[in-house]
Structures are given as structure tokens and as C-alpha cells.
Amino acid sequence: MRKTILVVHGMRKGKLNETLLNFVNQTFEGEVTDYEVAFLESEVIQLEEVIQNAIDAGYKRIQLVPLLLFTASHYYEDIEALYDKCQQTYPNVHFILGKPLGTHPKMAEWVASQIATYSNEVNDETGIVVLAHGNARFDEPDVALRKICDKLSTPQMSCYPSMVYGELQFQKTLPPVAEKYNKLLVIPFFFYDGYLVNKTKRQIAALQLPNEIVYTEAINFHPILKEIVQVRIAECEEVPNVSDSIEPRT
């Protein structure tokens, strides 16, 4: 028997966890996948508990699919650390660890679709900025976001990566971009337009950049995420016994 555990960040308070559960249930509507949801930030349905329940129920193959955009602290220190621990503790159970969602090529397509949707805001005097969460201790998000921006940049249009945290934090990266353009189109590379996105918008406004700034919508559980989740699960299914699906650190 095999169980797929979808690992989401979640929140200790508020209605986000309910929204996440609805998204997952809609993703698997009509499917026969044997899955459970586990939260990293919640007082209930915690990842270690969900894994233990699956083991106690007799599952011999457990696939962990992180519903995270990039590999960073939650991936390595929460999910991968528990994955390693479980492998050592339960050698007769095959554990498979999947890749995050944001590194899939379809996410670059989502960014491109946002640019197309807001094409009436884009001209030669517009700088395109893709804004993500980032991490002060791991550079994988920076590397991944740079790849997306490099892929979408053309001689006529440049895309610039920017982060809330880490080396590419917007306080350092936005002012030089703002000097080149009259307008900035900022694309929030976040799951949803929530607290952090709104807080970051206020912080960017506090920089008092001399530009008109237009924000697109965040991902907001776009249908493309459902496709990517299915792909990540399929990748796990292809692993025979030992996980080789972990992205190498750079």
C-alpha cells in the first residue's frame, strides 16, 4: 500500500488552512489517489503525526509532496529532516520526497500569462519585477527565481527577480530597477494575496520610489498549480524504491 502526503505550510490561526484543504480536495476531485494533507504550521494534522498514522495503518510506501514554491528552510529543516529521520527509523518503509511546485517550468508560463494579462500596462518604459518570499539562509529560491526571469527576458523586455528576504531583498533590488523605468509591473510569486503580500506592498510604498507601480494578482491557487501537483505526484510514482527526486542544493 502507498500513501501520498501533501505537505502544506498552513497557519496556526485564520481560515487559510480551510482554503488549502479546499484547494487540495478540488485538485483530487474524481481521482483515486490515496492522499492525506499535513500542515507544517498548525496545531492539528501535523506532518509527523500524519506520517506515523500512515505507518501504523500498514503503508509500506509514503510519498511526501511539498506544496511549497521553493526549497528553503521549511523544505530542508522540516520536511527533509523528518524524511531522513523516518528512513532511519522505519527501514522497511519506502519514503519518497518530491520537488516543490515553483521550480516546475509551468510556473514560468504562469508569470508569462500575468505579463500578457497586464499587457496594457507594459511598454518600453515598464520594468517587470517578479517578487517572491526568499530566504536569508538558503539561496535556492534566488537561483530558481533568477532562472524564471532569465527565461522570460527578451531584448525588448527584461524581468527582474526580487525577494522579501535574502540576497535579492526588494529594498536593495528595486531602487536600481526603478531608476531605469517610469513604471514597474510587480508580479507577486506567492500562493495567495494574503498578509505578507499586503505587508510587502506597504513596505515598497514606504521606499517612495518615483515610479508608478502596478501589481498583478498573486497565484491565488491558479488551476496551473493543480497540474503541477499532479506532475509532482507522478514523478514520485516513477521512483521504484529509493527517492532520487530531491533537488540538489546549489
- What was the pLDDT predicted at 14? 63
Instruction: Please list, in sequence order, all residues whose beta carbon lies within 8 angstroms of the beta carbon of residue 57, skipping any fewer than 6 positions away.
Output: 1, 3
Instruction: Give me the residue label for grid cell 505537505.
Output: 7
- What was the pLDDT predicted at 158? 94
- What was the pLDDT predicted at 26? 81
- What was the pLDDT predicted at 24? 81
- What was the pLDDT predicted at 33? 82
How are strands ordered across the β-sheet holding 212-215?
Answer: 159-165, 126-134, 183-188, 212-215
Pairing mode, if any, of strands 2-8 and 61-66?
parallel
- What was the pLDDT predicted at 231? 95
- Answer yes or no: are the C-beta atoms of 96 and 130 closer than 8 Å: no
pLDDT tens, residue order, the chain (250 aa): 899 999 988 777 667 778 888 888 887 777 778 999 998 887 778 999 999 999 999 999 999 999 999 999 999 999 999 999 999 999 999 999 999 999 999 999 999 999 999 999 999 999 999 999 999 999 999 999 999 999 999 998 999 999 999 999 999 999 999 999 999 999 999 998 988 999 999 999 999 999 999 999 999 989 999 899 999 999 999 998 654 434 433 3
- What was the pLDDT predicted at 59? 96
> Can you give the pTM of this predicted structure?
0.90
**C-alpha distance across the termini of the chain, in Å:** 34
- Answer yes or no: are the C-beta atoms of 185 and 160 closer than 8 Å: no
Distance of CA 163 to the CA centre of its chain: 13
CA distances from 180 to 6, 124, 125, 185, 227 (A): 42, 10, 8, 13, 37
Delineate the domains of the chain, giving CATH numbers in brackets: 2-101+222-238 (3.40.50.1400), 105-215 (3.40.50.1400)
Contacts 24+ apart (CB under 8 A), 139-146: 139/166, 139/167, 139/250, 140/70, 140/71, 140/72, 140/247, 140/249, 140/250, 141/69, 141/70, 141/71, 141/72, 141/166, 142/166, 142/167, 142/168, 143/250, 144/70, 144/102, 144/103, 145/70, 145/189
